[in-house]
Amino acid sequence: MDEEKGLVCVTGGAGFIGSWLVMKLLQHGYTVRTTVRPDPECKRDISYLTSLPGASEKLHIFSADLDQPESFNAAIEGCIGVFHVAHPNPLKEQDEEIVTKKSVEGTLGILRACLNSKTVKRVVYTSSASTISHSGTNKDMVDESTWTDVEFHRSLKVYGTSYVAAKTKTEQAALEFGENNGLEIVTLIPPLVIGGFLCKTLPSSISLFLCMILGNEHNYEYLKNKSMVHVDDLVSAHIFLFENPNAKGRYICSLAQVSLEDMSRFLTAKYPEYQIPTADSLKGIEGHKTCGYSSEKLLKSGFKFKHGLEDMFEGAVQSCREKGFL
Ligand SMILES: NC(=O)c1ccc[n+]([C@@H]2O[C@H](COP(=O)([O-])OP(=O)(O)OC[C@H]3O[C@@H](n4cnc5c(N)ncnc54)[C@H](OP(=O)(O)O)[C@@H]3O)[C@@H](O)[C@H]2O)c1
């Protein structure tokens, strides 16, 4: 464990990315406060957080809900940094207006708490590639200057506009709040996030990613040409941008774009024990056209990716086996 680096807060620390970030911050020498949703009957098992190395001394768990933005105040007071990862569950919450309001107002409440604390030096917000993927411009590769046009996405009449709208409007509102109030806000834009996981439930991105092993054919179309990043690289990028004095604005964090056929070839070679559809049988799948994402800004600032596709698969499969999903 590194030397003490200071007190930081992670919102949504019980989730897939949040819990990995908590683990990594503890390893880096931070004292961490994390928020989980209220659990009055203490039914939820979060031992995967409380049993992390260093957690007994350096991890403090607070209860907070985006529905009540002021509920984050106590966790943020006195922190030097906040990593805002929490977002309403896109599979459970699909009413665009409700989910967008909850996400935007919850986030602005968190940012006000950061401002009022007078101790928070920088906020790192976990955005999403959905905020740059649907500009309607038909580019093959996009960078941080691109913004999704929510109306354009709505006109496509495809699944997911509530998530696309909520993430896009939340990131825009956060950056605007930072500009108007002199609060440093850096946003990270990941595509599909893959790798091992600590949480007890199967993360939705892992479920999508492993659809060829899990047998969820209806998901193939979403993986036709998907960009990906390892969860460990993504959380390292969060910490890198928090610590880098020159970090400013938006940062795409995406390793590579992989075709469904290449995933099939890779999985078949690596896991012959599973019935993986052949690359040839997948050629006819009509996928959604997706653009690539340039991580040049992040790389130019000195960040280095450590994990390739093999690590993403191995981590995801191993965690699924350990937790009984495979
Ligand atoms: N996974 C990906 O592929 C991916 C890609 C791009 C962007 N992202 C972004 O990364 C972030 C984390 O995603 P994830 O994949 O780790 O999902 P996740 O496992 O579902 O984590 C989401 C977190 O948000 C919390 N949350 C949900 N509703 C809340 C509410 N009303 N109040 C307070 N907290 C609430 C959840 O709390 P509970 O644990 O109590 O449910 C959970 O800790 C999200 O902002 C997501 O948009 C993820």
d(CA 12, CA 85): 6
Distance 268 CA to ligand 1 centre (A): 31
**18 in ligand 1 pocket by Cβ < 6 Å?**
yes
Report which of 19, 17, 27, 35 is spatially closest to residue 79, judged by C-alpha positions: 35
Ligand 1: which of 37, 61, 95, 127 to mutate, judged by most atoms within 8 Å of the beta carbon?
Answer: 37
Q: Whose CA is nearest to atom 37 of ligand 1?
A: 12
The string of pLDDT tens digits covering residues 102-121 is 999 999 999 999 999 999 99
**195 in ligand 1 pocket by Cβ < 6 Å?**
no
pLDDT on residue 27:
98
pLDDT on residue 313:
92
d(CA 208, CA 214): 9
Q: First vs last Cα of the chain: how many Å apart?
A: 33
**15 in ligand 1 pocket by Cβ < 6 Å?**
yes
Report which of 323, 315, 225 is spatially closest to residue 270, judged by C-alpha positions: 315
pLDDT on residue 93:
66
Atom of ligand 1 nearest to the CA of 11: 34
Mention every residue, 6+ apart, whose C-beta is less than 8 A from residue 73.
Answer: 113, 116
Q: How many CB atoms lie within 10 A of CB 127?
A: 25
Which residues in the chain show pLDDT less than 50?
A: none
pLDDT on residue 286:
82
DSSP, collapsed to helix, strand or coil, labels residue 24 as helix
State the helix-helix crossing angle for 16-27 and 231-243, rounded to 10 degrees.
60
According to DSSP, the β-strands at 225-230 and 256-259 are antiparallel
Distance from the Cα of residue 217 to its chain's centroid: 24
According to DSSP, the β-strands at 141-142 and 292-293 are parallel
Angle, vertex CA 109, rays to CA 193 and CA 170, nearest 5: 40
Element (H, E) at 19: helix 16-27
The string of pLDDT tens digits covering residues 190-232 is 999 999 999 999 999 999 999 999 888 889 988 988 999 999 9
Distance 256 CA to ligand 1 centre (A): 22
**126 in ligand 1 pocket by Cβ < 6 Å?**
yes
**277 in ligand 1 pocket by Cβ < 6 Å?**
no
Distance 101 CA to ligand 1 centre (A): 16
pLDDT on residue 2:
63
pLDDT on residue 17:
98
Atom of ligand 1 nearest to the CA of 93: 28
pLDDT on residue 36:
97
pLDDT on residue 157:
86
Place of tokens 């019980």: 14
**178 in ligand 1 pocket by Cβ < 6 Å?**
no
Residue 67 burial by Cβ neighbours in a 10 Å radius (0-12, 13-18, 19+): middle
Architecture of domain 6-194+228-254+291-306: 3-Layer(aba) Sandwich (3.40)
Atom of ligand 1 nearest to the CA of 84: 45
Distance 85 CA to ligand 1 centre (A): 6
- The structural domains of the chain, with segments of one domain joined by +, span 6-194+228-254+291-306
**89 in ligand 1 pocket by Cβ < 6 Å?**
yes
DSSP, collapsed to helix, strand or coil, labels residue 93 as coil
Distance 58 CA to ligand 1 centre (A): 23
